[in-house]
C-alpha cells in the first residue's frame, strides 16, 4: 500500500493539531477559583536538572494566546492551560514550575488535572489517565521578579521526579 506525500503530510498535521487543540474554558471563573500562591505548594521542590524527562504533556495557552517559540510576555494575571499525563497512570503531585535563568525553581504551582481531554486520548490511544489530564492554573506575575522564566510540568513517579519541557517561556516585566 502506498500513500501519496500530500496524504501523509495531511494525516501528520491532523494528529499534530489534534494533540495541541484548545479546549474551550466552560467556566470563566475557573482560573480565579483555582488560583494558588506559589508558596502554598507543600510537595518537595523539583531539581529540574536531576529530574527524569517526561513527554506526555503540553503547555498550550496563556490566556487566549497559544504558546509559540517566542518568549510570551505576561504582565497581568493569566490562566495557563494544557495537559499532563504519565506512562504509569495519573501523575502524582503535578505542578507547574517557573525556572529562572540560573536554573533555580522560582515558583511552583500545584495542578489539578480535572479537565476532560478526549483529543489527547485519541492522540495517545491505550494510555491510562489521559481522559482527565487537562488543567488550568492562574499565574500572577505580581508574585514574581521581573525576568524570563522557563516553564516545566513536573510530577512524582515511582522512579523519581519527572519534568516535561515543551520549551515554553514567559517574560515578567513591570
Question: pLDDT tens-digit profile of 55-79?
Answer: 899 999 999 999 998 999 999 999 9
* pTM for the predicted model, two decimal places: 0.72
SS3 119: helix
Separation between Cα atoms, residue 130 and residue 86, nearest integer Å = 8
- Grid coordinates belonging to 89: 497512570
Separation between Cα atoms, residue 143 and residue 123, nearest integer Å = 36
Residue 24 pLDDT exceeds 50? no
- Grid coordinates belonging to 80: 495557563
Residue 52 pLDDT exceeds 90? no
- Grid coordinates belonging to 62: 496563556
* 4 Cβ contact list (under 8 Å, min separation 6): none
List domains and CATH numbers for the chain: 5-172 (2.60.40.10)
Asked whether the beta carbons of 171 and 74 are under 8 A apart, the reply is: yes
Q: In terms of pLDDT, which residue wins out, 4 or 65?
A: 65
DSSP bridge partners of 53: 163
Amino acid at each position: 500500500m502506498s500513500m501519496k506525500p500530500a496524504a501523509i503530510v495531511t494525516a501528520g498535521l491532523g494528529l499534530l493539531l489534534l494533540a495541541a487543540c484548545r479546549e474551550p474554558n466552560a467556566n470563566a471563573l475557573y482560573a480565579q477559583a483555582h488560583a494558588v500562591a506559589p508558596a502554598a505548594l507543600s510537595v518537595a521542590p523539583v531539581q529540574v536538572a536531576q529530574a527524569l524527562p517526561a513527554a506526555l504533556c503540553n503547555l498550550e495557552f496563556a490566556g487566549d494566546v497559544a504558546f509559540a517559540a517566542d518568549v510570551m510576555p505576561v504582565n497581568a494575571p493569566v490562566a495557563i492551560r494544557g495537559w499532563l499525563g504519565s506512562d504509569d497512570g495519573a501523575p502524582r503531585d503535578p505542578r507547574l514550575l517557573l525556572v529562572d535563568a540560573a536554573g533555580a525553581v522560582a515558583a511552583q504551582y500545584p495542578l489539578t488535572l480535572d479537565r476532560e481531554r478526549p483529543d489527547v486520548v485519541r492522540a495517545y490511544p491505550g494510555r491510562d489517565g489521559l481522559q482527565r489530564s487537562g488543567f488550568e492554573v492562574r499565574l500572577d506575575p505580581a508574585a514574581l521578579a521581573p525576568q524570563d522564566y522557563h516553564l516545566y510540568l513536573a510530577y512524582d513517579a515511582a522512579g523519581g521526579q519527572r519534568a516535561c519541557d515543551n520549551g515554553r517561556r514567559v517574560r515578567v516585566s513591570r
